[in-house]
């Protein structure tokens, strides 16, 4: 069943839509949840919550890209769980990497609303070659390890690490040019 | 509640298309082979041998431990259009414990990458880190140095993949790996001479080349890609727990166990414009199957799995080969093989062939015999074969 059909079923509150979504996306959702939480039990709960959220959100929402929509929902719910589970996340290597681009939330409040920042990041991402865009998204949106992201992008780990460093520098420059970050 | 980096938070508003793009397989563009003549090559191993292959005209000279070996080479154009030269090189068993002594190394230089195979077609993956490969392209007489190309991994395949990735040749490299594997397996006699360990090693290479290792690493599912795990679970039994692998689209696939291997026509790789992402095999009694999943670049999804079956004609005992295309719903296509049941189908010739099929998989199977193509579906009654297509190609 293609994504549009699933969306239509969900939009018409047909429970077959949930089943179809589960059949088609359960693996993807699990991948996201497990990638972030690393806890099978929590991940499973988040995966179930994702499908529930899908059911609740459609309608009124009618996503054009169901895969992307589900990914975002899964990530959002999983991060909420992560926030709940731990207070040490801020010190993780992954997130401190991004501190190079923008040090803290306070800076954002000074210069931009989060939505504006999202738009800017999207703009920056769209301007990247696909491979680099995938690498950045896998690493910082899906929180996959560098090794996994590199493999997915058909790069060596070393090349991916270097590319990510350059991407962060590029993002920092991009944000600086738009007044969202000052050294 | 923990505060995350604002960029991390802002990624919550990531464009859905970008989010979806990242979890789809990367576009795989098949590179057209460069018509570079193959150079003379020699390999060295960890014991300190140094090998230098220098070409002078068309006659390669190999040096191992300062001992020069020359001559005794063959040259031919392989199925991909490359000129291949095989050169003599003696590699002690002790240096390649998983392989028998190598009489010849077949070396190929393809688009910036080196490929080495022993005389049986097994890719050599134990080349030492300090190994250097030299040769001269007959195209432009340029001296090629593997080190200069960033070839640095002690693991041959990994090295190739690294080089390939760095030079954007990975797609073709993967493809070549799979092709070579298929070619090797096409010779059952050669394959059968391998030890179990050698088969496992070989299969590991293929899994790596196909990216199966990686895609199988999600959802809390372990993937027995180590030799020990494979040995424990059987060759090709990718996952330990529930016998599943996860495709790059997040969909679970149920691969088959494979305890032996069967003919695998190379042509199957070339039939379609799709890229093979995973190769699976199974074998059970008289029915043997070689399967691949195909990813459609345009549709951006797996569209079909191609299964090369070998059945046995119960009347004559002769093998009957056909290819089955498993469409659309991969979950159905790859149902647990333990649920498979045998079904007999009657060919137009009157011969009865045993079909290995899924009891709950609704696939279309097609086969070709005597120049005619046939198709049948599993929802037909036993013995029924409907002639749907006359020319599948």
Question: pLDDT (tens digit, 9 = 90+) per residue, A90-123?
Answer: 445 565 666 666 555 444 454 456 778 888 888 8
Nearest to A27 among B9, B24, B251 (CB): B251
> Which range among A29-38, B117-126, B242-251, B325-334 has the greatest average pLDDT?
A29-38
Residues from chain B that touch A30, judged by Cβ atoms under 8 A, are 218-220, 246, 250
Kindly state the percentage of chain B with pLDDT values over 90: 0
One-character DSSP codes across B249-276: TS-EE-PPP-SS-----THHHHSSSSEE
Cβ A119–B13 below 8 Å, yes or no?
yes
Instruction: Reply yes or no on whether the pLDDT at B277 is more than 60.
Output: no
The answer to whether B393 contacts chain A (CB < 8 Å) is no
Reported ipTM: 0.75
Q: Identify the pLDDT of residue B362.
A: 29
The label of the residue with tokens 């036993």 reads B382
Q: Identify the pLDDT of residue B190.
A: 52
Q: Identify the pLDDT of residue A30.
A: 79
| Cβ contact B132:B145 at 8 Å | yes
Q: Identify the pLDDT of residue A91.
A: 46
The label of the residue with tokens 């005992």 reads B317
What is the arithmetic mean of pLDDT over B51-60? 30
The answer to whether B166 contacts chain A (CB < 8 Å) is yes
Range in A21-25, B170-174, B184-188, B348-352 with the lowest mean pLDDT: B170-174
Cβ A26–B165 below 8 Å, yes or no?
no
- B59 pLDDT band (50/70/90 cuts)? very low
Nearest to B14 among A72, A102, A148 (CB): A72
Instruction: Reply yes or no on whether the pLDDT at B64 is more than 50.
Output: no
How far apart (Å, rounded) are the C-alpha atoms in residues B256 and B393? 27
Residue in A154, A161, A162 to test binding to B, most B beta-carbons within 10 Å:
A154
Q: Identify the pLDDT of residue B62.
A: 34
Q: Identify the pLDDT of residue A98.
A: 64
Q: Identify the pLDDT of residue B172.
A: 29
Nearest to A141 among B19, B166, B170 (CB): B19
Residues from chain A that touch B248, judged by Cβ atoms under 8 A, are 152
Residues from chain A that touch B13, judged by Cβ atoms under 8 A, are 114-115, 117-119, 121-122
Residues from chain B that touch A159, judged by Cβ atoms under 8 A, are 165-166
Residue in B7, B163, B175, B215 to test binding to A, most A beta-carbons within 10 Å:
B7
Pick the residue from chain B with its C-alpha nearest to A150.
B165
What is the SS3 assignment for chain A?
Answer: CCHHHHHHHHHCCCCHHHHHHHHHHHHHHHHHHHHHHCCHHHHHHHHHHHHHHHHHHCCCCCCCCHHHHHHHHHHHHHHHHHHHHCCCHHHCHHHHHHCCCCCCHHHHHHHCCHHHHHHHHHHHHHCCCHHHHHHHHHHHHCCCCHHHHHHHCCCCHHHHHHHHHHHHHHHHHHHHHCCCCCC
Residues from chain A that touch B170, judged by Cβ atoms under 8 A, are 154
Q: Identify the pLDDT of residue B43.
A: 23
How far apart (Å, rounded) are the C-alpha atoms in residues B343 and A108? 65
What is the arithmetic mean of pLDDT over B305-311? 42
- B260 pLDDT band (50/70/90 cuts)? very low
Q: Identify the pLDDT of residue A100.
A: 61
Q: Give the CA count within 13 Å in the CB-facing half-sphere of A59.
A: 6
Pick the residue from chain B with its C-alpha nearest to A118.
B10
Cβ B18–A126 below 8 Å, yes or no?
yes
Give per-residue pLDDT as tens, B201-239: 454 444 443 333 322 222 222 222 333 322 222 222 222
Q: Identify the pLDDT of residue B286.
A: 30
Instruction: Reply yes or no on whether the pLDDT at A140 is more than 50.
Output: yes
- B39 pLDDT band (50/70/90 cuts)? very low
The shortest C-alpha distance from B220 to chain A (Å) reads 7
Note which residues in 248-267 of chain B have CB less than 8 A from chain A.
Answer: 248-252
Cβ B4–A23 below 8 Å, yes or no?
no
- B48 pLDDT band (50/70/90 cuts)? very low
> Which range among A98-107, A130-139, B219-228, B274-283 has the greatest average pLDDT?
A130-139
How far apart (Å, rounded) are the C-alpha atoms in residues B158 and B211? 12
Residues from chain B that touch A107, judged by Cβ atoms under 8 A, are 6
Pick the residue from chain B with its C-alpha nearest to A103.
B5
Maximal C-alpha separation, chain A: 52
Q: Identify the pLDDT of residue A161.
A: 78
> Which range among A91-100, B100-109, B132-141, B201-210 has the greatest average pLDDT?
A91-100
The shortest C-alpha distance from B271 to chain A (Å) reads 25
More confident residue, A151 or B261: A151
The shortest C-alpha distance from B128 to chain A (Å) reads 19
| Cβ contact B116:B41 at 8 Å | yes
Q: Identify the pLDDT of residue A182.
A: 52
What is the arithmetic mean of pLDDT over B257-282? 26
Is the previous residue joined to B267 through a cis bond, with omega within 30 degrees of 0? no
Residue in B4, B21, B22 to test binding to A, most A beta-carbons within 10 Å:
B22
The answer to whether B11 contacts chain A (CB < 8 Å) is yes
E strand map for chain B: 51-56, 59-64, 67-70, 74-77, 83-91, 102-110, 113-118, 134-136, 143-145, 245-246, 252-253, 275-284, 287-296, 301-312, 319-327, 340-346, 352-358, 364-369, 372-377
Tokens of B384: 């029924």
Give per-residue pLDDT as tens, A68-89: 888 888 888 887 777 776 654 5
Kindly state the percentage of chain B with pLDDT values over 70: 5
Tokens of B133: 């490969």
How far apart (Å, rounded) are the C-alpha atoms in residues B18 and A68? 7
Give backbone dihedrals phi and psi of B43, rounded to 5 degrees, phi first. Answer: -125, 150
Is this prediction's pTM over 0.90? no
The shortest C-alpha distance from A13 to chain B (Å) reads 23
The answer to whether B26 contacts chain A (CB < 8 Å) is yes
Residues from chain A that touch B331, judged by Cβ atoms under 8 A, are 23
Cβ A31–B246 below 8 Å, yes or no?
yes
Instruction: Reply yes or no on whether the pLDDT at A41 is more than 70.
Output: yes
Pick the residue from chain A with its C-alpha nearest to B216.
A31
The shortest C-alpha distance from B164 to chain A (Å) reads 9
Contact residues for B151 (Cβ-Cβ < 8 A; gap 6+): B114, B133, B159, B160, B163
Residues from chain A that touch B26, judged by Cβ atoms under 8 A, are 130-131, 134, 152-154
Q: Identify the pLDDT of residue A81.
A: 78
Cβ B6–A107 below 8 Å, yes or no?
yes
How far apart (Å, rounded) are the C-alpha atoms in residues A28 and B329? 15
Q: Identify the pLDDT of residue A27.
A: 76
More confident residue, A170 or B192: A170
């Amino acid at each position: 069943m293609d994504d549009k059909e699933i969306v239509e079923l969900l939009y018409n509150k047909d429970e077959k839509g949930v089943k179809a979504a589960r059949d088609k996306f359960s693996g993807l959702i699990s991948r996201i949840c497990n990638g972030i939480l690393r806890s099978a039990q929590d991940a499973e709960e988040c995966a179930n919550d994702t499908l529930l959220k899908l059911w609740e959100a459609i309608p009124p929402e009618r996503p054009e890209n169901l895969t992307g929509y589900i990914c975002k929902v899964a990530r959002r719910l999983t991060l909420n769980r992560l926030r709940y589970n731990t207070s040490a996340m801020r010190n993780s290597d992954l997130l401190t990497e991004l501190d190079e681009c923008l040090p803290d939330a306070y800076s954002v409040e000074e210069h931009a609303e989060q939505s504006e920042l999202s738009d800017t990041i999207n703009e920056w991402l769209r301007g990247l070659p696909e491979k680099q865009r995938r690498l950045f998204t896998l690493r910082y949106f899906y929180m996959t390890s560098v090794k996994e992201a590199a493999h997915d992008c058909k790069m060596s780990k070393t090349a991916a690490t270097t590319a990510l460093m350059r991407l962060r520098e590029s993002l920092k420059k991009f944000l600086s040019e738009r007044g969202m970050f000052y050294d | 509640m923990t505060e995350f980096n604002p960029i991390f938070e802002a990624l919550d508003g990531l464009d859905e298309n970008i989010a979806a793009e990242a979890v789809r397989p990367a576009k795989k563009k098949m590179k057209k082979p460069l018509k570079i003549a193959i150079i003379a090559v020699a390999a060295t191993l960890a014991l300190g041998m140094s090998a230098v292959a220098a070409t002078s005209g068309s006659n390669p000279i190999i040096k191992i431990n300062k001992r020069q070996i020359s001559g005794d080479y063959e040259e031919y154009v392989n199925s991909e259009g490359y000129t291949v030269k095989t050169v003599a090189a003696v590699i002690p068993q002790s240096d390649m414990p998983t392989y028998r002594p190598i009489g010849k190394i077949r070396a190929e230089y393809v688009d910036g990458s080196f490929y080495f195979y022993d005389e049986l077609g097994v890719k050599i993956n134990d080349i030492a880190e300090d190994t250097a490969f030299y040769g001269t392209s007959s195209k432009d007489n340029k001296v090629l140095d593997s080190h200069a190309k960033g070839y640095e991994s002690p693991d041959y395949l990994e090295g190739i993949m690294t080089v390939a990735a760095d030079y954007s040749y990975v797609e073709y490299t993967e493809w070549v790996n799979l092709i070579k594997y298929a070619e090797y397996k096409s010779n059952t006699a050669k394959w059968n001479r391998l030890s179990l360990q050698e088969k496992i090693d070989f299969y590991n290479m293929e899994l790596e080349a196909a990216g199966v290792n990686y895609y199988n690493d999600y959802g809390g599912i372990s993937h027995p890609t180590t030799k020990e795990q494979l040995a424990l679970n059987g060759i090709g039994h990718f996952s330990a727990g529930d016998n599943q692998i996860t495709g790059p689209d997040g969909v679970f696939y149920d691969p088959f166990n494979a305890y032996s291997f069967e003919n695998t026509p190379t042509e199957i790789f070339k039939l379609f414009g799709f890229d093979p992402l995973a190769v699976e095999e199974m074998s059970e009694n008289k029915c043997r199957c070689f399967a691949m999943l195909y990813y459609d670049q345009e549709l951006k999804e797996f569209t079909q799995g191609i299964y090369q079956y070998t059945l046995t004609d119960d009347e004559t005992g002769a093998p009957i080969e056909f290819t089955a295309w498993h469409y659309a719903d991969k979950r159905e296509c790859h149902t647990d093989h333990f649920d498979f049941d045998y079904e007999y189908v009657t060919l137009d010739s009157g011969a009865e062939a045993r079909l290995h099929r899924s009891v709950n998989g609704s696939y279309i199977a097609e086969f070709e015999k005597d120049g005619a193509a046939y198709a049948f579906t599993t929802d037909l009654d036993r013995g029924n074969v409907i002639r749907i297509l006359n020319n599948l190609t």
